[in-house]
Amino acid sequence: MAETTLGGAEALESFRREAQDAEMAFRARVLLCMTGCRSMGSMELAETFRTKLDAAGLSDEVEIVDAGCHGQCVLAPHVVVEPHGFLYGGVRPEDVDEIIETSLRQGKPVERLCQSVDGEPVSTVDEAPFYKGQQRLVLANCGKIDPTRIEDAIATGGYEALAKALAEMEPESVVSEVKDAGLRGRGGAGFPTGLKWELARRSSGEEKFLICNADEGDPGAFMDRALLEGVPHQVIEGMIIAAYAMGASKGFVYVRAEYPIAVEHVAIALKQARKRGLLGENILGSGFDFDIELRMGAGAFVCGEETALIASLEGDRGMPTARPPYPVESGYQGKPTSINNVETFANVPAIVLNGKDWYRGFGTEGSPGTKIFALAGRVNNTGLVEAPMGATLREMIYDVGGGIPNNRPFKAAQLGGPSGGCLPMKYLDLPIDYDSLKEAGAIMGSGGLIVMDESTCMVNIARYFLEFTQDESCGKCPPCRVGTRHMLDILDRISNGEGKMEDLEELERLAEHIQDASLCGLGQSAPNPVLTTLRYFRDEYIEHIQLGHCRASVCEGLVSAPCSHACPAQVNVPQYVGMVATGQLNAAVDVIRRRNPFVSVCGRVCDHPCQTRCRRADLDDPVAIRALKRYAADNATGLSQTVGPPASGTSEVAIVGSGPAGLSAAYFLALMGRRTVVFEKQPVAGGMLALGIPEYRLPKEALQRDIDFILRHGVELRTDATVESVEELKEKGYRAVFLATGAQEGRAMGIEGEELEGVEESLEYLRARGLGKEPKTGEQVVVIGGGNAAIDAARSAIRLGAAKVQILYRRTREEMPAYDEEIEEALNEGCELHELLAPNRVVGEDGKVTGIEMTRMELGEPDDSGRRRPVPIEGSEFVVECDMILPAIGQRASIEAASGLEITSWKTVKFDPVTLATSDIGVFSGGDVNNGGSTVIEAIADGQRAAVAIDRHLGGAGLLPPDVSMSIYRASDEELENATVQTPEPLLPVEERLDGFREVAFAFHPEGACAEASRCLRCDLEKVRS
């Protein structure tokens, strides 16, 4: 095409037709991202495509398009083959032959290169959930055209809106169209764009300026970069229209120097537009003059603030000035200036072309249109997402974003960068627009949406943002310069475990002053991340301050390895994993037992918070820590070896209850030289371990090994010994009492017919089996509930002869508190799971159960925990026939012996979270009695903490045994890189399980254990090594 100036709308149209015809000459197109995907090798890929297409003689039929970002950055390098729309990710040069043969010659997808969703390959863009959930108006052409070719832009409708505005509309009518469309500034604050132009238009002065703010500095936002790189002409067109509307003669694009591709593409586009008469004098023959200069920012976050940006353009340090006067009156060189964001400009052409009513068809009343979000952090489909205003976080994170890696639970979403806030689970269903976000304490900001899961520490994230704003504070006004420094100092202290409770109020006080008194938006909004985390995640701050605990295992001053820190009992995990890798099993068991005496038990039934927090999970699978513990416990030869000499002397401490909390306390007290007496009302020791957890998960012998080990340290156990009250023990002369009576009783369903024969509370049922009785089991068993007790009862019932076992739960499997692997095995063993059913009444005949009437539920609005609340469907009642019902809907703390102690409204013992002290001096409580049902390892940790507190109470130092041996083994980098898959624990085949209570899981073979242990990254050694 000739390099001529386009003299008017007609010339533009004929240029468009020519460009479209040239496109039509190709029967297929391969779209490659040449911007973001460059970092993953898309340039080499494009080279390979060109060479191979040439060789195949297809270069006249197939066009290779060096396109911009297509949004789904996780697939980089991202390839789309048109006309079919095949979508490929992670494409390597060696895949090109197959794409040419299969997709370009035969028109079929190469399935192995497609993204898989729920195990199924998704072969085209139209089918991909990532694109289905979006509304791509602004990004419509991004990733589809070559941004360095004005022909591509014009062929896809570029500059059509400009031609319309110049030929058919007065500047005022452009202003009112954009104003009525309700377009609000996409840079952050959401000021009405049309109004800004109107104000600038009305300001007196011959010369006016227009600035495109492309100093995208918000960490975690990259939509402006994608737009400038992918559709620079769209932004330029929006700018020219804006200039026409407000009457500007000169414009600037102020872009970050850190975006070299954006700088390059904008420079090319400006040159092309100028050459075609779309910039400069007499644009499209209309008599309107306007040109744009490209300026690179030199790296200062504060330049996102409009007055600072102007100072920077004028060659000064980027420091803001007080407003008013606003830039629309007195901006660049004291002249009226409108500053708008890249994405705002990119919205303009479509509004002018299609009109305000069309635009208002998208989004919400107060915030029409769409917004581009940069989805990043802990989410599967990281990338750019354009959604209508009013879409919810859940839609963006789960539908478009594909959820959180490893199915970890959502914790918070950070919106609006350092000026924004962290929103918790309860806002997952909040329709997002400017106003709703403000109300919740966040802001739209530039649209950065960082997803956080439980591996993110909220104190750390607040500290991170404040460190950023502190660093970027220009220093002009003291509230921002000094105030943020003070806040940061406080947060530093808290992250190091040196905080005080008063610090929290001090943070809020400082935040208020900084918000009120700072000169510009940077300072005014800097406290937001701290304030929202304090508002929604205050517990975490308190944990850091009071317990020195960071639940996400992030804060460096508190954490060496995340696994150990995540373990409530603080077992030195990397040490013993290293020892297993080198075959030192006795040493491994010794390391564990210095913090946890229940090595055989926890190797089998622990819910392994260590493993959940394992850093290896970020690379592939977490190290199978629990299985390694099991292997060590089952194979160590020195299992009977004690950790310290048995305690002697008189017993000064009484412990009520021989569950994991009680026995652990006794054990650690023994290691501190104190003899204890453990009172157990049942004939056997172990509490829930013996009478709650079925033997197929925890064989009696394994439990007994751990109990024997504990007793060898000089612990006296009295079974069949009921303690009526704490007073009774004090009268007998015990100087301290540890109450660990557990939560033995199940809750009643509270429905009609519960007294009928055949209804048996599941804990009773499990206890009968644990005591060696053969509990009577029905033919048709129904279990009500979704926790571990429900699954234990169901799997026991199927072993005890039930023909059919149905688990009925009022929410869905996703919300079940039971461990997922347990649910899986229950289903494997033939139990049925029916979701969204709530019990109504028990149906019976002759005093016996014949069925249970259930109501169908549907998921309604989410509750505060973010879980959607089940709501009954009216008239959906039906009867499930059965002859036995095992309700398992919760436990009740056993507080009978706690008479005289303060009790909470939840009917649990009131205790101090640090020392576990109760309201009575010398009496401590821990385990399930404190919280009405928790995990084994938490009970053990409580026992440990109680031992420390009791020893101190009695005048001791409360020291836990130090580690004596050490492992610095770590596999080589190569080995670590290759061992990507977790070794599975061998399981007993289902057909061999059901005729008894044989243990289902086996220990690793030695090779398996060594291989698995060698996958450990040894995070604890990281600081030592480099």
Partner 1 sequence: MGIPLIMVRAGLCQKEEDAVSVANTAESVDLAPAMHIVEEMSPVTSGDIIPLLQRIQEAYGYLPKDVVLRVCDETDLPASRVFGVATFYSQFSLRPQGRHLVRCCKGTACHVRGGQRVMDTLERTLNVTDGETTSDMAFSLETVACLGTCFLAPVVTVDDTYYGQVTPDRLRKVLAQYE
Contacts with partner 1 by CB under 8 A lie at 36, 38-40, 73-74, 76, 216-222, 225, 257-259, 295-301, 312-318, 374, 376-378, 382-383, 414, 417, 448, 450, 452, 456, 461, 464-465, 468, 472, 474-475, 556, 615, 618-619, 973, 976-977, 1017, 1022-1023, 1026
Report in angstroms how near the CB of residue 451 gets to partner 1 at its nearest. 8
* 887 closest CA partner among 925, 844, 852: 852
Alpha-carbon gap, residue 30 to 738, rounded angstroms: 71
Report in angstroms how near the CB of residue 965 gets to partner 1 at its nearest. 26
Alpha-carbon gap, residue 459 to 452, rounded angstroms: 13
3-class DSSP assignment, residue 1002: coil
Smaller CB separation from partner 1, 216 or 829: 216
DSSP 8-state class, residue 546? I
3-class DSSP assignment, residue 615: helix
Smaller CB separation from partner 1, 553 or 780: 553
Report in angstroms how near the CB of residue 809 gets to partner 1 at its nearest. 33
User: What does each C-alpha distance from 796 to 554, 688, 763, 773 come to in angstroms?
Assistant: 40, 15, 11, 13
Q: Please give the single-letter amino acid code of residue 17.
A: R
Report in angstroms how near the CB of residue 88 gets to partner 1 at its nearest. 16
By the 8 A CB rule, do 1004 and 633 touch?
no
Report in angstroms how near the CB of residue 1017 gets to partner 1 at its nearest. 8
Smaller CB separation from partner 1, 19 or 617: 617
Report in angstroms how near the CB of residue 66 gets to partner 1 at its nearest. 18
Report in angstroms how near the CB of residue 39 gets to partner 1 at its nearest. 3
Report in angstroms how near the CB of residue 531 gets to partner 1 at its nearest. 17
Report in angstroms how near the CB of residue 221 gets to partner 1 at its nearest. 7
Smaller CB separation from partner 1, 215 or 329: 215
Element (DSSP H or E) covering residue 482: helix 478-495
Report in angstroms how near the CB of residue 945 gets to partner 1 at its nearest. 29
Report in angstroms how near the CB of residue 408 gets to partner 1 at its nearest. 12
Alpha-carbon gap, residue 239 to 254, rounded angstroms: 13
What sign results for the dihedral spanned by CA atoms 847, 852, 853, 857? positive
Helices 193-202/232-246 angle, 10° precision = 40
| DSSP codes of every residue in 34-85 | -SGGGGGTHHHHHHHHHHHHHHTT-TTTEEEEEE---S-GGGPSPEEEETTT
Beta-carbon contacts of residue 821 (< 8 Å; ≥ 6 apart): none
Alpha-carbon gap, residue 693 to 683, rounded angstroms: 16
By the 8 A CB rule, do 893 and 657 touch?
no
Q: Read off the tokens for 947.
A: 């031992």
Cα-Cα-Cα-Cα dihedral of 122, 124, 129, 135, to 10°? 180
Q: Read off the tokens for 1005.
A: 């073979």
Element (DSSP H or E) covering residue 703: helix 700-711
Report in angstroms how near the CB of residue 1025 gets to partner 1 at its nearest. 9
Buried b (16+ CB within 10 A) or exposed e, 660-695: bbbbbbbbbbbbbebbbbbbbbbebbbbbbbbbbbb
SS3 of 154-198: the string is HHCCCCHHHHHHHHHCCHHHHHHHHHHHCCECCCCCCCEHHHHHH
* 229 closest CA partner among 344, 80, 71, 401: 71
CB atoms within 10 A of CB 712: 15
Report in angstroms how near the CB of residue 315 gets to partner 1 at its nearest. 4
Q: Read off the tokens for 294.
A: 């490209």
Angle at 8 between CA 5 and CA 10, to 5 degrees: 110
* 369 closest CA partner among 689, 135, 23: 135
* 48 closest CA partner among 26, 77, 28, 69: 77
Q: In the chain, how many H helices and how many E strands?
A: 40, 30
Report in angstroms how near the CB of residue 129 gets to partner 1 at its nearest. 17
By the 8 A CB rule, do 799 and 766 touch?
no
Report in angstroms how near the CB of residue 382 gets to partner 1 at its nearest. 4
Smaller CB separation from partner 1, 574 or 758: 574
By the 8 A CB rule, do 885 and 852 touch?
yes
Report in angstroms how near the CB of residue 476 gets to partner 1 at its nearest. 10
Cα-Cα-Cα-Cα dihedral of 665, 668, 672, 676, to 10°? 40
User: What does each C-alpha distance from 99 to 75, 146, 302 come to in angstroms?
Assistant: 16, 21, 47
Report in angstroms how near the CB of residue 441 gets to partner 1 at its nearest. 17
Cα-Cα-Cα-Cα dihedral of 541, 546, 552, 557, to 10°? 100
Beta-carbon contacts of residue 943 (< 8 Å; ≥ 6 apart): 660, 661, 662, 663, 664, 665, 666, 667, 668, 738, 740, 926, 927
Report in angstroms how near the CB of residue 470 gets to partner 1 at its nearest. 13
